[in-house]
Amino acid sequence: MRKLLLLAPALLAACVTTSEQPPVHGLVPGQVCDATGTEHFIGQDATSDTGVAIMRATHSRVLRWAPPGTMLTMDYSPSRVTVRLGPDRKVTAINCG
């Protein structure tokens, strides 16, 4: 009987449901990247301040730096911005995904 009383809260907790939907891999609700109007970042140094400004301008949740010669995954994430860099660590391209 004592074991049943100790096990009861755990069993009840397993029955609790939540109204929130579980996160989908690669998708952050309400955060969709839009790279239009980011041309003014081209040629800037790759600094943390630049990264924050790019994320804010594109409404992204995730920032991915892509130095030359770096292999990137091909999975698409609508909440991610990819910033490609030249050999001099300056921004050469900005795109979503």
pLDDT in tens, 23-80: 555 555 667 999 999 999 999 999 999 999 999 999 999 999 999 999 998 898 999 9
List the chain domain ranges: 23-96
First to last CA, the chain: 56
pLDDT at 22: 47
Q: How would you class 32 by CB atoms within 10 Å of its CB: exposed for 0-12, middle for 13-18, buried for 19 or more? A: middle
Q: Could you tell me which CATH number the domain at 23-96 has?
A: 3.30.10.10
Which CA distances in Å does 28 have to 36, 43, 58, 74, 82?
A: 20, 29, 14, 18, 16
pLDDT at 31: 79
Q: What are phi and psi of 82, to 5 degrees?
A: -110, 125
The answer on pLDDT for 5 being more than 60 is no
